[in-house]
């Protein structure tokens, strides 16, 4: 047995390529050919080495036909190394991994080449399950019959296969050179992907079939990748705290920080993790829809056509905006709404209660039978010829979301006896986090009033975490450790919580001492 | 993580049934259902616990439908425990293992019940590959094309399935309740069983595809047993020293002895292992055919109809014999030949050189054109109406075999600087070993002249070793240790060896000091 370090202490990727020239067999050394390879690999620290039955015969035949010169593709499987393929020693082609963010709405893929090549290739596609249910709950109900569950799974496998093929075709590569997948999804999506009964996720007491999933082989799942490819699905810590967030924690690095940090991921739910390398408190709440651009009449996802930034000139009160992609605006996404509300508030168009104040004299105020609205985009400027307006009703919905977010944050902070000043770093993940302007979010009282450099947008943190796992196998162990570290708290409806929430419904808050940097509206500044 | 002993240090079988009542999930403990099971099992020392992707969903659904009461069937896989099935807690049916001696000529199966039931059921069938080649070499040549190799494999899988079904049908059991197989065969047979290229086995430098084999799942091999059943094939230490012998060593227990012992297995080859718990020297030589009943004209395997014991009355010179099974004799098996030669020699019918001595005046001597022969069974007494005679040519062939056996033994003993007196125990395995009379074998100089109580017949030692592995999982580790312990020696043709062999061609030997207990023939003892 090797005296070298155990593999999990040697840094390196989930897949390694080891080039070897084995001593050819002779009468003095009649070790079997697979054992000859295993011996050489174990000497280099790849111990214990295993091989699937399905690969063994082909591997030995290749070792022999190549005259005992080879490049062994090895995969790391937590308890052992696995021989995944035997290639020619001079093989310089791709040896790939695919990181996947398996989202409810969209799925993102990122290539990784373990053979040294740069592969910035990334591709995102809509989740094809949408036609069986927009939201997770509908899909979980659809999956009641095993047939339907397998249909949901098949849709995912098919889109994986199609997308991986398309990404590789561009470079003339074969899907068989994909040897590892790292898949991060919420708990329900992970269940769909593995064909596991999701029924426990949506009903009390909210129990997943499994928190940790077995490492599967590509062939078992029907993927077009190498049949022996190791498919790692991130573990979850409960129905409402999925592998996507675990991956997000890895991406933030808060699991290795000695200082207290916060990670907020705004998707369908708002998920919050508070902690450091020694402890973590997690919580999920229904703060999301309005923040992600849903619920509001002209709201939309942060896709081309969405207004993602808004400014209102404090002197002229003329609005300006930025549209994602090219072309005219079709709606407004979460970060656009944050900006809009913050700017309307700063310009005196919105009151502390979130009502439109006619006395500001701003252009674009519309009176509807129900309430007032602010028309940001005139009909002739928009993609569909309809003006893009945000009503007081929309703003009311939005304020509930932002209040929920702030409430979750402050309740959690108090739970551990800290206050916001103790937060060293505040990560905002997700599409929302990528676009949001922290200054604006502070101004409306959605995020706490911390120095702006504390805030850090993470982008697609679950995709990044999945990619990190492929590039650094020590994170497989670390992932399990993070799961054990997390204490998941249910925010039960209590008087304290309702009180907190009510205060946070205002702009920025009923207690202005919580937001010292947000100056109250002091009247219109004019050019003169 | 559990602080209990690692599983391989806790004695027990390869498969265990653990009855559990899991705490049902509630809002305070929302652990996933599989992880709930894993946690309970890991607390009892079954750590780490793994599950195949193919089983996970079904297992969780069963745990739920049974209200968190279950009997978990667990299999030991060297590096981890594997969940093999979830049963009702009150399940009292069979949880079986099948030990298999995978021989070139015949295959023997032995049931083991891990659920406490006595199962002495054993069944032997001919190896169906015989129709593609009587001997291993023919089959290896046949297996050159992958198609043919798979055909050889398929024949084995089919006979496994048929036999297991038949054994279980008798008791009304389903093959799905077989959760483990332990298979011991020579190196070529193990390759056929796993569909591995055997071509390296029969040509210099005699390299198997693998010495150690992956633990396979029943479904992977197409077996009718439980799809998750763990199939362990014993490792080999080279082309000529197979898993059947490793299993034989386990059966003898010499791997745990502090005294030096010898194990001899006479099959197509004679295989010899010399050593104790700290070292082992192994050797295989072509001593076999005549000893197993082959090569001799009226020779046959030790099957019904074979004469397995012979006595010649020293005063009347009248022979008597014992036939296996019921009915008339059809031939003579190895132990019968040993007895016959020993008794003819003691009665003065055979000379030291192995020639028939007419002066003894024995009945039944026949003169043929080539040489003399001794008719043991008269035509009217035999099954086919032909007399059963052994000629001087037959005896010459037999003497070469017994000389080879003795030569191997004495060369090995000398190699380690010992002499036969240092041997504490002498195991004789195989059908031959089961029937042979050590006193007779000593008298003809086939086995060394040791106290008769030193000799110990082991019967089907490879089947017994395979059964022991199923009943005691610590032997999985021990098997690997034994493999590392063994030094395999090639007996190269040398002057010394030829000299030794020539001396051993006589009865009992040219050097009578080697056989002090064998008294020279001192003339016929008459009744008067």
Question: What percentage of chain A's residues is helix, strand, coil (to nearest 5)?
Answer: 35, 25, 40
Of B87, B115, B140, the residue at which a domain comes to its end is B87
Q: Could you tell me which chain A residue has the CA closest to the CA of B210?
A: A32
CATH classification at residue B47: 3.10.20.880
A313 and A435 housed in the same domain:
no
Task: For chain B, positions 217-236, list CB contacts with chain A under 8 A.
Answer: 217, 220-221, 236
d(CA A320, CA A347): 13
Q: pLDDT means per 10 residues in chain A (528 residues)?
A: 43 94 89 96 93 96 97 93 97 96 95 88 95 92 95 98 97 97 97 97 93 97 98 95 96 97 83 95 70 72 90 93 93 92 95 93 90 94 94 92 90 93 93 83 95 93 96 95 92 77 92 90 62
Please list, in sequence order, all residues whose beta carbon lies within 8 angstroms of the beta carbon of residue A173, skipping any fewer than 6 positions away. A93, A94, A96
Contact in structure between A210 and A443 (CB atoms under 8 Å): no
Q: Are A192 and A152 in contact (CB under 8 A)?
A: yes
Q: Are residues B127 and B34 in the same domain?
A: no
- Chain A residues whose beta carbon lies within 8 Å of the beta carbon of residue B204: 27
CA distances in angstroms from A132 to A23, A186, A223, listed in the order given: 57, 18, 22
Residue A45 placed within a domain: yes
- Give pLDDT tens digits for A230-259: 999 999 999 989 999 999 999 999 999 999
Residues of B in contact with A220 (CB under 8 A): 53-54
Q: Does A54 touch chain B (CB under 8 A)?
A: yes
Is the CB of B53 less than 8 angstroms away from the CB of A221?
A: yes
Considering Cα of A60, then A62, then A64, then A70, what sign does the dihedral take? Answer: negative
For A354, A364, A441, A521, A522, the CA distances from A317, given in Å and listed in that order, are 17, 10, 20, 14, 15
Q: Is B393 inside any structural domain?
A: no
**What is the chain A residue with the closest CA to B196?**
A57
Residues of A in Cβ contact (< 8 Å) with B35: 210-212
Taking CB atoms and an 8 Å cutoff, what residues of chain B touch A211?
Answer: 31-32, 34-35
Domain count, chain A: 4
> How much is the pLDDT for A495?
76
Looking at chain B, which residue has its C-alpha nearest residue A49? B214
Whether residue B103 is contained in a domain is answered as yes
Q: Which chain B residues are within 8 Å of A30, Cβ to Cβ?
A: 205-207, 238-239, 488
A521 close to B (CB below 8 A):
no
Residues of A in contact with B26 (CB under 8 A): 205
Q: Which chain B residues are within 8 Å of A51, Cβ to Cβ? A: 214
Q: Rounded to whole angstroms, how far apart are CA atoms B218 and B183?
A: 12
- Counting one residue from chain A and one from chain B, the pairs whose CB atoms sit within 8 A come to 137
In contact, B250 and B182? CB cutoff 8 Å: no
A402 with A467, same domain: the answer is yes
- In this prediction, residue A2 carries a pLDDT of 37
Using an 8 Å CB-CB cutoff, list chain B residues near A204: 27
**To 5 degrees, how large is the angle CA B287–CA B144–CA B205?**
50
- Both A281 and A415 in one domain: the answer is yes
Q: Residue A463 maps to which CATH number?
A: 3.30.420
Same domain, B24 and B136: no
CB contact under 8 A, B220 and A61: no
B467 in a domain, yes or no?
A: yes
What element of type H or E holds A111?
A: strand A106-113
Backbone angles phi, psi at B352, to 5 degrees: -55, -30
pLDDT for B522 equals 75
Q: Are residues A109 and A200 in the same domain?
A: yes
Residue A232: closest C-alpha in chain B: B53
**pLDDT value, residue B524:** 66
Residues A104 and A222 both lie in one domain = yes
Kindly provide the b/e burial profile for residues A86-123, where b requires at least 16 CB atoms within 10 angstroms of the residue's own CB: bbebebeebbbbbbbbbbbebbbbbbbbbbeeebebee
Spell out which residues of chain B touch residue A216, defining contact as CB-CB under 8 Å: 53
Using a CB-CB cut-off of 8 Å, the residues of chain A touching B208 are 32-33
Best of A53, A235, A493 to substitute, by most chain B Cβ atoms within 10 angstroms, is: A53
**Residues B280 and B154 grouped into a single domain:** no
End-of-domain residue from the set B324, B352, B387: B387
Q: How far apart are the first and last CA of chain A?
A: 84
Helices B243-252 and B461-471 meet at what angle, rounded to 10?
A: 70
CA distance A462 to A121: 16
The DSSP 8-state label assigned to residue A305 in this structure reads: T
Q: Decide: helix, strand or coil at residue A252.
A: helix
Which residues of chain A lie closer than 8 angstroms to B206, CB-CB? 27, 30
- Residue from B210, B219, B223, B492 whose CB has the most chain A CBs within 10 Å, to mutate: B210
Cα angle vertex A430, ends A428, A435, to 5°? 75
Residue A520 lies in a domain: no
Kindly report the CATH number assigned to the domain that includes residue A139: 3.30.420.480
Q: Do A60 and B490 touch (CB under 8 A)?
A: no
Same domain, B328 and B260: no
Same domain, B141 and B105: yes
Query: Where do we find the tokens 């409960």?
Result: A238
Q: Which residue stretches of A292-435 are H helix? A: 334-346, 392-415, 430-435
Query: How far is it, in rounded angstroms, from Cα A133 to Cα B88?
Result: 36
Q: Based on the domain organization, do B51 and B198 belong to the same domain?
A: no
Q: How would DSSP label each residue in B341-354? A: HHHHHHTTSB-TTS
B350: how many CB neighbours lie within 10 A of its CB? 26
Neighbours of A136 (CB within 10 A): 20
Give contacts of B 162-201 with A, CB under 8 A: 194-197, 200
Contact A333, A340 (CB under 8 A): no
Distance CA A142, CA B50 (A): 29
Asked if omega into B238 is within 30° of 0 (cis), the reply is: no
d(CA A117, CA A18): 16
Answer whether B331's CB lies under 8 Å from B305's CB: yes
Cis peptide before B205 (omega within 30 of 0): yes
Counting every residue written for chain A, the total comes to 528
Q: Which of B67, B87, B107 is the last residue of a domain?
A: B87
* Residue B2 domain-assigned (yes or no): no
- Min Cα separation B396/chain A (Å): 32
Output the pLDDT for position A138: 94
Residues 304-363 of B with CB under 8 A from A: none
Question: Is A482 contained in some domain?
Answer: yes
8 A C-beta contact, residue B223 and residue B231: yes
Say whether the peptide bond before residue A48 is cis (omega within 30 degrees of 0): yes
Spell out the residues 6+ positions from residue A191 whose beta carbon is closer than 8 angstroms to its own: A197, A198, A201, A208, A209
The segments of chain B whose pLDDT lies below 70 read 1-10, 267-268, 286-295, 492-493, 524-528
CA distance A288 to A408: 12
Q: Nearest-CA residue of chain B relative to A483?
A: B31
B234 and B109 fall within a common domain: yes
Domain membership flag for residue A46: yes
Q: What residues 59-88 of chain B have any CB closer than 8 A to a CB of chain A?
A: 60-61, 64, 79-80
3-state secondary structure of A294: coil
Residues 98-117 of B with CB under 8 A from A: none
> For residue B114, which of B475, B479, B469 has the smallest C-alpha distance?
B469
Q: Does A295 touch chain B (CB under 8 A)?
A: no
User: Is residue A105 within 8 Å of A72, Cβ to Cβ?
Assistant: no
List the domain range (segments joined by +) for residue B460: 253-289+398-514
B214 → closest Cβ in A52, A206, A490: A52
For β-strands B178-185 and B96-102, DSSP reports them as parallel
Interface test with B, best of A32, A157, A229, A483 (most B CBs within 10 A): A32
Q: Which of A50, A57, A79 shows the shortest C-beta gap to B209?
A: A57
């Amino acid at each position: 047995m090797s005296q070298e370090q155990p593999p999990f202490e040697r840094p390196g990727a989930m897949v390694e390529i080891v080039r070897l020239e084995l001593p050819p067999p002779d009468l003095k050394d009649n070790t079997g050919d697979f054992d000859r390879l295993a011996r050489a690999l174990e000497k280099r620290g790849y111990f214990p080495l295993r091989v699937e039955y399905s690969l063994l015969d082909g591997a030995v035949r290749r070792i022999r036909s190549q005259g005992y010169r080879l490049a062994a593709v090895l995969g790391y499987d937590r308890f052992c190394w696995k021989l995944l393929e035997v290639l020619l020693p001079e093989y310089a082609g791709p040896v790939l991994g695919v990181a996947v963010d398996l989202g409810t709405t969209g799925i993102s893929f990122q290539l990784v080449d373990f053979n040294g090549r740069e592969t910035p290739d990334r591709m995102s596609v809509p989740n094809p399950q949408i036609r069986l249910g927009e939201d997770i709950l509908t899909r979980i109900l659809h999956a009641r019959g095993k047939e339907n569950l397998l249909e949901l799974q098949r849709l995912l496998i098919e889109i994986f296969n199609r997308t991986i093929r398309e990404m590789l075709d561009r470079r003339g590569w074969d899907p068989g050179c994909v040897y590892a997948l790292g898949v991060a999804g919420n708990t329900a999506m992970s269940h769909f992907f593995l064909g596991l009964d999701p029924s426990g996720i949506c009903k009390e007491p909210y129990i997943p079939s499994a928190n940790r999933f077995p490492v599967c082989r590509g062939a078992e799942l029907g993927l077009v990748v190498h049949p022996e490819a190791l498919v790692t699905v991130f573990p979850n810590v409960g129905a409402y705290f999925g592998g996507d967030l675990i991956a997000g924690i890895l991406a933030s690095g808060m699991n290795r920080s000695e200082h207290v940090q916060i990670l907020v991921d705004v998707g369908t739910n708002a998920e919050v993790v508070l902690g450091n390398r020694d402890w973590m408190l997690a919580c999920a709440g229904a703060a999301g829809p309005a923040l992600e651009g849903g619920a509001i009449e002209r709201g939309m996802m942060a896709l081309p056509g969405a207004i993602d930034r808004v400014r209102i000139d404090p002197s002229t009160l003329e609005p300006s905006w930025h549209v994602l992609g090219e072309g005219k605006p079709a709606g407004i996404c979460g970060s656009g709404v944050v900006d809009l509300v913050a700017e309307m508030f700063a310009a005196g168009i919105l009151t502390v209660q979130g009502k439109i104040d006619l006395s500001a004299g701003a252009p674009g105020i519309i009176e509807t039978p129900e309430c007032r609205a602010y028309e940001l985009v005139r009909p002739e400027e928009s993609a569909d010829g309809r003006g893009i307006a945000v009503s007081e009703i929309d703003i009311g919905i939005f304020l509930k979301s932002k209040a929920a977010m702030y409430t979750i944050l402050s309740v959690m902070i108090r739970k551990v006896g800290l206050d916001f000043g103790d937060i060293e770093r505040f990560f905002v993940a997700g599409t929302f986090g990528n676009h949001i302007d922290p200054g604006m979010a502070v101004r409306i009282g959605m995020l706490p009033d911390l120095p702006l450099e504390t805030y850090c947008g993470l982008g697609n943190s679950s995709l990044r975490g999945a990619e990190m796992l492929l590039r650094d196998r020590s994170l497989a162990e670390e992932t399990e450790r993070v799961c054990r570290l997390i204490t998941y708290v249910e925010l039960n409806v209590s008087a304290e919580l309702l009180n907190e929430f009510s205060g946070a419904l205002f702009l920025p808050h009923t207690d202005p001492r919580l937001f010292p940097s947000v100056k109250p509206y002091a009247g219109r500044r004019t050019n003169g």
